[in-house]
Amino acid sequence: MLKPHEIFAKMPQTTASGLIQFLHENEKTLYKATVDSLAQQRKLRPVFIERKPRKDQHTWILEQVIRKTNDALAAHLLQIWLVGANKQLLCDFLDGFGITHDENGTVENLPDSPAKAEVARVVETLLSKYDQSLIAVYLNAFQSIDGTGWEGVSELIAEDPRLQLSA
């Protein structure tokens, strides 16, 4: 199971850039807090990063988030992006299993892992509807963020190259 910082390191560059761009445009407070936190961690003044061109800021953030020490931050950024920019994917995933959720695709208690065949059916439906790299990021994040995940999802990721992230 990949850790959140490893997901960032292995996700396609376009997906990672889109994630940071989403945060910059839609989660300005979080984006600024991320820059501030990462800059202080690297013993830099945040203004040093803020004065860089936007593309360079995003590249710098991604370079920092892939560090093991930033795993908790990576998990938080993934969660915010998935719920904020991809909530329909989350809802479709949960609907595929008949799991009750709120309008953002979040649940209070996730049920036990469904059978692998059922997971495969839902994942195939998602792959027909969404970008393959987005599905790969989501499933790896789903497995990683709460620390347990579902056995059927782990097995599918291990078996299906479409669901694997590689640098």
C-alpha–C-alpha distance, residues 57 and 45, integer Å: 13
C-alpha–C-alpha distance, residues 135 and 153, integer Å: 12
Tens of pLDDT along 51-81? 999 999 999 999 999 999 999 999 999 999 9
Q: At residue 167, does pLDDT exceed 70?
A: no
For residues 108 and 130, which has the higher predicted lDDT (pLDDT)? 130
Under the banding of pLDDT at 50, 70 and 90, the label for residue 145 is confident
Q: Are 75 and 4 in contact (CB under 8 A)?
A: yes
Q: At residue 85, does pLDDT exceed 70?
A: yes
Lowest mean pLDDT, pick from 2-11, 28-37, 139-148: 139-148
* CA distances in angstroms from 43 to 57, 58, 87, 156, listed in the order given: 16, 18, 35, 41
Question: Which amino acid is it at 118?
Answer: E
With 0-12 / 13-18 / 19 or more C-beta atoms within 10 angstroms meaning exposed / middle / buried, residue 22 is middle
* CA distances in angstroms from 157 to 18, 32, 38, 93, 152, listed in the order given: 23, 34, 31, 15, 9
Count CB atoms within 10 A of the CB of residue 115.
Answer: 10
Q: At residue 163, does pLDDT exceed 80?
A: yes
Q: What pLDDT does 146 receive?
A: 72
Q: What pLDDT does 148 receive?
A: 78
Q: At residue 106, does pLDDT exceed 80?
A: yes
Q: Are 79 and 90 in contact (CB under 8 A)?
A: no
Under the banding of pLDDT at 50, 70 and 90, the label for residue 107 is very high
Look at residues 128, 129, 118 and name the one whose alpha carbon lies nearest to residue 152. Answer: 118
